[in-house]
Amino acid sequence: MGKKMTDTPKPLRRQFITQALWILFLSALASLVLWVGLFFLVTHLFQPVNYYEKKIPSIIRLADQEGGALLDPALRSRLEEIVPREGILYRVVPLAGGTGYGTLSEGEVPKRTELIRNLNQSDQRNGYIYVYHPLVDSEEGLMGVLLLRYALSLVASNPTKGPLAIAFAVGFMAVPFVCLAGFSFWFGRRLEKRLTPAVHLLMDGAEKIEKSDLDFTLGQVGGSRELAAIGSAFERMRFALRSSLEKQWRIEQSRRDMVAALAHDLFTPLTLIQGHAEQLSKGQGHDEERKRRYVETIHTNADRAIRLLEEMQEATRLELPTFVLHGVPVEAGAFLKQKRDEYTTLCVMREIQLQTEFRDERKDRQQLFHLDERRLSQVLDNLMANAMRYTPAGGVIKWRCLIREGSLEMEIADSGPGLSEKDLRFLFDKFYRGDPARSLDQGHAGLGMFIVKTLVEKHGGWITAGNMPQGGACFRFRIRELDGERV
């Protein structure tokens, strides 16, 4: 049971959601790992972002030591010894007037009032940090301002490695997207490998059907529950198409067999009719007795040809979808007695004894029984004619009938040669004429038993054929009571 549940394909929706969650989880985990690795490289290849900010205290200490004396340009070289030229720009601004000196342009120096207001503070403008430090004389008098400018960024902290720093910054930002793209591609390939065999299997099956090759089995289609359902529907369609084509082929084969059988069976009577008609047409040298025999032969064979055609038409009619049995209320006892009288007369003419046994096990024996009287008579006529054909003079035909609630069961047995193994296999097939060793004549199209079986089954019943222990053929069949019209 567990294995079956494991082998059941998951729905596509569940697979997509599961893969999406795995992609997000693994992308986040991989991004974290890569970020840690990149951070480790950054710390070894680049100066930290606050590298120049750490230089500010030493510059401030020098400014405090020199005080107002730092306004003298002669001390510029000393100041620039500790001010990193690549990362920090400075300007020494005297409050008494003058431009002062430094690497920071005069245009970035604010007005005197703003300088005084920002003393011992820092502000941020245009991505840079400005530090304002007072320069005082020995009497603590404010003489000027030391203005420092630097930036807190990887590129600013590594001016000689700018392109590389930019590449690392872009890499940091691109890591999550790269991981998402990579894992999406990986999981997409896995899903493709899971679904592709099923899709190829369905495409191969469609190509075979297009070529009218239905002699194959699609097999189990995996990949997803939806594809498995499509595969099952595809297999049912293939089986239905194959059954339909086989049925069509059987119908076509039956039609060809019918035409061939009709041509074969009509050949003999029509040849006899033609030959005797030619003799009559000559009109000379024939006495009345010979003419009578010619006319009788023509009449007999014409009747035989008509009977063959009628059997063909009847077999075709029974197979039409429009064929309907008409159930009418019939008094079963009276119907059986009438048929018994008919068959008794025929049996007497053939010197055959007919034994009958009718039993009615219904509670109300006067209740009418719904059946198609004409079609049931057709079934009995065929079975009785078959029994009389093979029962020799002095033989016995036994007819038993059991009437029950909603059904009729009958048995017709004769004392003839019985049925051969071949008969038992093919007796109810179209155009089967019986084993030659048993057949006494071939004056029929081999459709009688086929018609009997079809009519019995149309009544919702069944029919079997066998041999009696003491010899002779035995037919048993059962039909159900009809309710109105039954197709």
- Please, which pLDDT band fits residue 485 given cuts at 50, 70 and 90? very low
- Please, which pLDDT band fits residue 261 given cuts at 50, 70 and 90? low
Rounded to the nearest 5 degrees, what angle is found at the Cα of 326, between the Cα atoms of 324 and 332? 140
CATH superfamily of 325-486: Histidine kinase-like ATPase, C-terminal domain (3.30.565.10)
Whole-number mean pLDDT of the chain?
Answer: 83
For every residue of 195-215, DSSP letters joined together read HHHHHHHHHHHHHHHHTT---
Select from 40, 42, 28, 130 the least CA-distant residue to 89: 130
DSSP-assigned letter for residue 415: S
Residue 246 CA, chain-centre distance (Å), reads: 22
Identity (one letter) of the amino acid at 336?
L
Among 11-15, 224-228, 461-465, the range scoring the smallest mean pLDDT is: 224-228
Cα-Cα end-to-end distance for the chain: 44
Q: What is the 3-state secondary structure (H, E, C) of 138-194?
A: CCCCEEEEEEEEECCCHHHHCHHHHHHHHHHHHHHHHHHHHHHHHHHHHHHHHHHHH
Q: For the segment 397-432, what is each residue's pLDDT rounded down to a tens digit?
A: 999 999 999 899 999 999 999 998 888 888 888 777
- What is the per-residue pLDDT for 391? 93
Identity (one letter) of the amino acid at 308?
L
CATH topology for 243-318 is Helix Hairpins (1.10.287)
- Please, which pLDDT band fits residue 447 given cuts at 50, 70 and 90? confident
Q: Between 298 and 391, whose confidence is greater?
A: 391
Q: For the segment 138-172, what is each residue's pLDDT rounded down to a tens digit?
A: 887 889 999 999 998 877 777 777 788 788 778 88
Compute the distance between CA of residue 109 and CA of residue 147 in angstroms, rounded to an integer. Answer: 8
- What is the per-residue pLDDT for 341? 93
Mean pLDDT of 429-445: 59
Evaluate if pTM is beyond 0.75: no
Q: Count other C-beta atoms under 10 Å from residue 179's C-beta.
A: 21
Strand pairing report for 396-404 and 325-326: unpaired
Domain boundaries, the chain: 2-48+161-203, 65-152, 243-318, 325-486
- Please, which pLDDT band fits residue 195 given cuts at 50, 70 and 90? confident
17: enclosing H helix or E strand? helix 12-45
- Please, which pLDDT band fits residue 435 given cuts at 50, 70 and 90? low
Within 13 A of 37's CA, how many CA atoms are on the CB side? 8
Identity (one letter) of the amino acid at 100?
G
CATH topology for 65-152 is Beta-Lactamase (3.30.450)
Select from 202, 229, 228 the least CA-distant residue to 216: 202
Q: For the segment 3-12, what is each residue's pLDDT rounded down to a tens digit?
A: 444 467 788 8
